[in-house]
Chains A and B, each alone.
Chain A
Amino acid sequence: MINRLLAYLVKHIDRYLMGLVTVLLIMGLITLFSASGESFERVTGQIINICAALTVMWIAANVPLHFLSRIALPLYVVGLLLLVGVAVAGEVVNGARRWLNLGFTRIQPSELMKIAVPLLLAWYFDRYEAILKMRDFAVGAVLVILPVLLIARQPDLGTALLVSAAGFYVLFLAGLSWKILVTLGILGGASLPFLWSMLHEYQRQRVLTLLDPSQDPLGSGYHTIQSTIALGSGGFLGKGWLNGTQAHLDFLPERTTDFIFAVYAEEFGMIGNLVLMVLFLLVIGRGLVIAANAPTLFTRLLAGAITLTFFTYAFVNMGMVSGILPVVGVPLPLISYGGTSLVTILFGVGLLMSIHTHRRLVQT
């Protein structure tokens, strides 16, 4: 009886992904304990977040694929409407209009778009599988740009980046021709000055800061300088768990959320970073394998885009903490404190599991 219940519970759970996710979550909790100044309260809060996110993952893993393709369009439309709602009547927190108060709860619709955009594009390309034309890519591009513009206006550069990355990955995997890619690349380069003028002052500052953090060591350069110091002083072996001075003496800002990697790298050193990168690579590798073996174009594109978005999270976060990318609000997947990003990421992982475990049903 219990065996059957267990079998039912894990039926759509991918063992590899589940194992990797578990290890990463535990590492996250260990780091969080140190980063929060040994606060059990914080750790407990994160455990609750994890439980909620794992539930979402389980549900996603058990959703049949045809259902997914059916909700793609409605989800996107709802997400877009909510984004418009945010732009019109959103709540301003820390100078950015990101939240929408629905009366009973507050939601961040931009977070939803991280899944909804690749889902919609995968569905769209799947529908026109046989006859992929330039026109389809153009439509796809528009479908990506609409929510990205709305999110960038909030302003939330990190999420805009992740959503557009997710959309781009679908376009790329769907076979966007190299000619267009190169042309877009050139056009993008040429439009940089224009984009520059579109950026908010603080966003420009972040980019400038990346180029020379010492220019404003107490202002916007402070994050990068302090996190790089944390990394560098950690050295090869690290200072040891709970012994990071940068973290424990308050020098690291946002050290439980976006900058938790600095705490991790300070205490566990380059060896720790290597371990973490290998784990991330294994997750990404597993995701790509799932994508490669996915039964339909829809699932292939979806799995590929989700996996690469996960990669984007990890790369942008570690790059920003180590000072090679500008500071954008992207958390370290499965490690950073915070429920929203955890739910989004594990939802994506759940979808990967679903794609993998439901593929035979589709093929037969």
Chain B
Amino acid sequence: MNRGVELRDHQRELYYFQLRLAIVGGAVLFAFFVLLMRFFYVQVIQHDYYHTLAEQNRIFIVPVVPNRGLILDRNGVVLAHNFAAYTLEITPTLIGDLEKTINDLSGLVEITPKDRKRFQKLLEEGHDFASIPIRTRLNDEEVARFAVSNYRYPGVEINARLFRHYPNGEIASHVVGYIGRISDKDVDHLRDQGTAANYSASDYIGKVGLEQRYENELRGVTGYEHVETDANGKSVRTLRSILPVSGNNLMLALDAKLQHVAEQAFGEHRGSLVAIEPSTGGVLALVSRPGFDPNLFVEGIDPQNWDALNNSPDHPLNNRALQGVYPPGSTFKPFMALAGLELGKRKPGFTISDPGYFVLTGGGGHIYRDWKAGGHGLVDLHKAIVQSCDTYFYGLAQDLGIDAIHQFIKRFGFGQMTGIDIEGEVDGLLPSQEWKQRRFQQKWFVGDTISIGVGQGYTLTTPLQLAFATAILANDGRVFRPHLVKQIQDSQTDALTIIEPQPRAVLPLSVENIKQVRDAMIDVTRPGGTAGWAGMNAKYLFAGKTGTAQVIGMKGQKYDEKNINERHRDHALFIAYAPADDPKIALAILVENGGHGGSTAAPIARQVLDYYLLGKEPPPPKPAVAKPAVPQEEQEND
């Protein structure tokens, strides 16, 4: 009995054990099934995802920044180039205590307060850059010193980078412009353009001037290296590399030496000069004074220099040649004279008697004064230009009427952008009936027309427009778009692309009429002309016209140069071209608060022309420009 029970127990024991074993076996199968499902999910369904992650793990795409194209003047003088230098860079996201790190670093390499401020500024601008430079242009010793203790500063590294450099500093700074660190705005712009990828790992972009306008030429194409790296970020090998394509070189129409001579000629004066080659439209010089050193901007300008430039009352950052608008004053007269001849309102021999003022007939007898109190006596077209007789042009303006003036003068480019190849140009103003109605909801009065005749009233031009118009005049009516870049040299093939050699238009002007105006302009620079002193003994035919533009209305007071705030003095203007029989250069000059065109602006033109046509070096610059003694009778004051 006992034995039986024991046996049954034993059997049952075994049965239960094997049952449990079976349950366990099922659990094992189930567990492995779960694993299998997990493998299937990770290795089959999500394979692509993990494959990408593994590739990202191991392959780093390192952009290779292309060499930026050079900017050269017409004779091959380098205006912008690149050089390699070491920078010490900090990746802020990898650093806990920035202040402490920078302090520690300053024990190894010199870090000036300026460097700190610039770093702070770049940091606040908060771009998504990986690293921000704290010091640039480290010398070999500093590089070595940091390299030794590099391991103590994770997040700080030394990089060899290409820097843009402007070897001529201030010279042609407004033309060449500068590059600067890419801002958020630039990034948006690049995204819109669809070229953002070409800027990966590159911190710089053209900001102003040619650097900005020709960004796409100068930039080049970013290359890439696919580098296999291990978990420590050490590169194991380069799998594939696409070489960068260097940017194209710009060859300018500009003559750097001429530019330098022109800038020197301004001395301490503010103002602008634009010189154009009439037969091509190539800009030989484009001056805006004062200038600035574009090198300050390359690595991010420090706040101190920025404030100095930005808040200066002289506005050195403004490109006066394109952005400054001034009344053309008497430099407008040759164009008025041509209008009178072309439209048959004046014959060369037609003479008026100038009492020193003009009375507007039918305008309520309103009187317009000539700059010369006693008048110029008997005045024909030639004398009107040579002596800059206002009375003659008051009458001419009335006879022509605003519509005809607007129609004719417009074709010389007044009141419109010239289309020069840098940004920022403004269009100035050539008034018309329609304009006045739109602007002031007022009809045009005959009285408005009279002062237009002498380049006053509403008329506003930029120095560039004035030079452009002068070039058209010099070139017998052939119009070439002013351009700074003459050729673009392809970095790969060295092939040259020549920019716009064809004339844009030819104005139908009579050769005889142009000759009339030209002859008068030649006599302007001869004794008896308003620029007679400046043109003395010129070894070439020198055609010019002086001008003066009022800064503030004098309201019946007598204009007294000596007792007036320097900034309220008149602007001096001068237009010229030479040699008049075969013009090689046409220019316009504006000297802010320079007083008389004949005394301040014309001498600048003489230096520029002497250098360009004769190769004559100007005298070394004097600390302050001494006012030349100008014979009283040659001064004009309209």
Contact = CB atoms under 8 A, between A and B. Distances in A.
28 contacts: A172-B20, A172-B24, A175-B13, A175-B17, A228-B42, A228-B50, A231-B39, A231-B42, A231-B43, A231-B50, A232-B42, A232-B47, A232-B51, A234-B43, A236-B47, A245-B57, A246-B54, A249-B231, A269-B43, A270-B44, A288-B24, A297-B13, A308-B24, A315-B35, A318-B35, A319-B35, A319-B38, A323-B42
Contacts of A304: 17, 21, 24
Given A232-B54, A285-B25, A300-B17, 4 more contacts: A226-B57, A233-B50, A236-B44, A322-B42
A180 interface: no
Contact of A274 (B16, B17, B36): B36
A307 B228 CA distance: 44
B91 interface: no
A285 B32 CA distance: 13
Interface in A12-55: none
Interface in B202-255: 228-232, 236
B21 A249 contact: no
A281 B46 contact: no
Contacts of B314: none
B31 interface: yes
Given A173-B17, A270-B43, A250 B230 contact: yes
Interface in A214-258: 226, 228-236, 245-246, 249-251
A269 B47 CA distance: 10
The 8 A-B residue pairs with the shortest CB-CB distance in the complex, in nearest-first order: A232-B50, A233-B54, A250-B231, A249-B230, A270-B43, A235-B47, A250-B230, A232-B42
Contact of A229 (B17, B21, B39, B57): B57
B341 to A, nearest CB: 82
Nearest to B16: A175
Interface string A111-132: 0000000000000000001100
B13 A233 contact: no
Nearest to A233: B54
A230 B55 CA distance: 11
B161 to A, nearest CB: 28
Nearest to B50: A232
B40 interface: yes
Nearest to A176: B20
A72 interface: no
B44 to A, nearest CB: 5
A322 B46 CA distance: 13
Given A231-B39, A234-B43, A265-B39, A288 B229 contact: no
B407 interface: no
A280 B25 CA distance: 13
B43 A236 contact: yes
Nearest to A248: B230
A357 interface: no
B49 interface: yes
B28 interface: yes
A246 to B, nearest CB: 6
A231 B39 CA distance: 8
A251 B229 CA distance: 10
A101 B21 CA distance: 40
B98 interface: no
B18 interface: yes
A291 interface: yes
Contacts of B55: 233
| Size category of the binding interface on chain A | 35 or more
A230 B54 contact: yes
Given A175-B16, A228-B50, A229-B53, A130 B28 contact: no
B47 to A, nearest CB: 4
Contacts of B20: 172-173, 175
Nearest to A252: B231
B582 interface: no
Given A229-B50, A231-B50, A304-B21, A249 B39 contact: no
Interface in A254-276: 265, 269-270, 273-274
Interface in B1-55: 6, 9, 13, 16-18, 20-21, 24-25, 28-29, 31-32, 34-36, 38-40, 42-44, 46-47, 49-51, 53-55
A288 B6 contact: no
Contacts of B50: 228-229, 231-233
Given A245-B58, A251-B231, A277-B32, A233 B17 contact: no
A233 B51 contact: yes
A269 B230 CA distance: 22
B294 to A, nearest CB: 43
B254 to A, nearest CB: 54
A322 B38 contact: yes
Nearest to B52: A233
Contact of A273 (B9, B21, B43, B229): B43
Nearest to A231: B42
B53 A233 contact: yes
A269 B31 CA distance: 20
Nearest to B231: A250
A328 B58 CA distance: 27
A352 interface: no
A288 B25 contact: yes
Contacts of B9: 130
A314 B532 CA distance: 106
A311 B32 CA distance: 9
A232 B51 CA distance: 7
A273 B54 contact: no
Contact of B228 (A230, A246, A249, A311): A249
A246 B228 CA distance: 12
B232 A277 contact: no
A322 B230 CA distance: 22
Nearest to A222: B231
A270 B21 contact: no
A292 B36 contact: no
A173 B13 CA distance: 10
B43 A173 contact: no
A182 B509 CA distance: 110
A148 interface: no
A228 B39 CA distance: 10
A265 B563 CA distance: 93
Interface in A182-199: none
Nearest to A289: B21
A81 interface: no
Nearest to A246: B54
Contacts of A229: 50, 53-54, 57
B51 A249 contact: no
Interface string A121-155: 00000000110000000000000000000000000
B61 to A, nearest CB: 16
Contacts of B57: 226, 229, 245-246, 249, 251
A322 B35 contact: yes
A140 to B, nearest CB: 15
Given A235-B51, A270-B43, A249 B229 contact: yes
Nearest to B36: A277
A311 B21 CA distance: 13
A302 B43 CA distance: 37
